[in-house]
Amino acid sequence: MPALNPPDRLLMGPGPSMVEPGVYEAMGKRIVSHVDPYFFEVVERINERLRLVFGTRNRFTMAISGTGTSGMETCLLNFVEPGEKLAVFANGYFCDRITDIACRNGANVVRLEKPWGEWFEDAEAAAFIARERPSVVAYVQAETSSGVFQDGRAICAAAHEAGAIVIADCVTSLGGMPVRVDETGIDAAFSCTQKCLSCPPGLAPITVNERAMEKLRARKDQVRSFYFDLKLLDDYYNQSHRFHHTAPVSMFYGLDAALEAVAAEGLEARFERHRANHLALVAGLEAMGLHLHVTDPSRRLWTLHTVRVPEGVDDAAVRRRLIAEHGIEIMGGFGPLAGKVFRIGLMGASSKRENVGRLLSALKQVL
């Protein structure tokens, strides 16, 4: 059998990011079973640290088996009942995925749409919710397809005023930018492991507050997924520890080590590193005459940059050469931004000043 020998890439796309060395080491440790007391010790330590990165005191904070999309499905399947109205703020690809999953599960979805790269102002968000009076509202805090950060405070305030709960996609922000679940008023948030936490893909951290749990407890029908049923998962992970599914133990080891790295660095220092490297990258790109797709600097993600492809440049050819000649992976845009933007990530262990320099000089040469 040929031995595995993956190429050495500098991962600077929209995820996965470079993995912390300690994470690889942790994932190689011997496993225990998914019902071993040691496993639940690891789970508890992870949950405590996830509360910190999410910015929440929610008891119900844990990691779902599966990538970020499993966190999205979990939130939509548990908190939106068939026939209920879900209001979606739609300004990118992942808002469309939320819509798709909710529609497949019988939700009545209404959308406020904006071009990819724009954001929702407080007043228009509040007016949409007041007009639609939904049961659930969903928005993407960090839209990886467009590079926009959406502040959720006005969305959450208007939703609560209308008696709705709010689901937020924090896949590209968790561990790289302040998510501030409690301060923002988010009722249920989900993320992934492979972006700003610098762990391989495989788990979806989620956090849910009491308001959302009450809505779930009041539900008359069964959640239409066994695997993502939060009441069953709560019982397995946090209450009886009775078998629900065979949790991917090595992934939990990896996430534990990734969160250990976050704790060792300090959350504020980590955010500041991401912010400073973001500003350095933007300055370097602008010095080369390139333009960011998100026009207002205060609405830009620190973790993912959409950069306009210069007139007459073939973006796929540029990306191919970056990989072949420099070993650097960035990605292109898709949907309405296909061929129009490069997507450059500075997430977790990839967010380093030396990586900013390496990418800028490689991009300059290739362009």
Cβ at position 126, least distance to ligand PLP in Å: 23
Cβ at position 270, least distance to ligand PLP in Å: 19
Task: Determine which residue in the list 39, 94, 119, 120 makes contact with ligand PLP, applying CB under 6 A.
Answer: 94
Contact set for ligand PLP, span 64-83 (CB under 6 A): 67-69, 72
φ/ψ (deg, to 5) at 188: -145, 130
Helix (H) or strand (E) holding 331: strand 331-332
- Nearer to ligand PLP among residue 44 and residue 100 (C-beta): 100
Contact set for ligand PLP, span 13-42 (CB under 6 A): 14-15
Contacts of 210 (CB under 8 A, 6+ apart): 58
Cβ at position 11, least distance to ligand PLP in Å: 13
217-224 long-range contacts, CB within 8 A, separation 24+: 219/81, 221/81, 221/82, 223/77, 223/78, 224/77, 224/82, 224/105
Residue nearest to ligand PLP (CB): 68
- Nearer to ligand PLP among residue 67 and residue 351 (C-beta): 67
| 248 makes contact with ligand PLP (CB under 6 A) | no
Contact set for ligand PLP, span 111-150 (CB under 6 A): 140, 144
66 SS3 class: coil
Rounded to the nearest 10 degrees, what angle do helices 249-265 and 267-287 cross at?
80
* Beta-bridge mates of residue 347: none
**Taking CB under 6 A as the rule, which mask of x and - marks residues 166-185 in contact with ligand PLP?**
---x-xx-------------
Burial 334-358 (b: 16+ CB within 10 A, else e): eeebeebbbbbbbbbbbbeeebbeb
Contact set for ligand PLP, span 200-229 (CB under 6 A): 201
Residues that bind ligand PLP (CB under 6 A): 14-15, 67-69, 72, 94, 140, 144, 169, 171-172, 192, 201
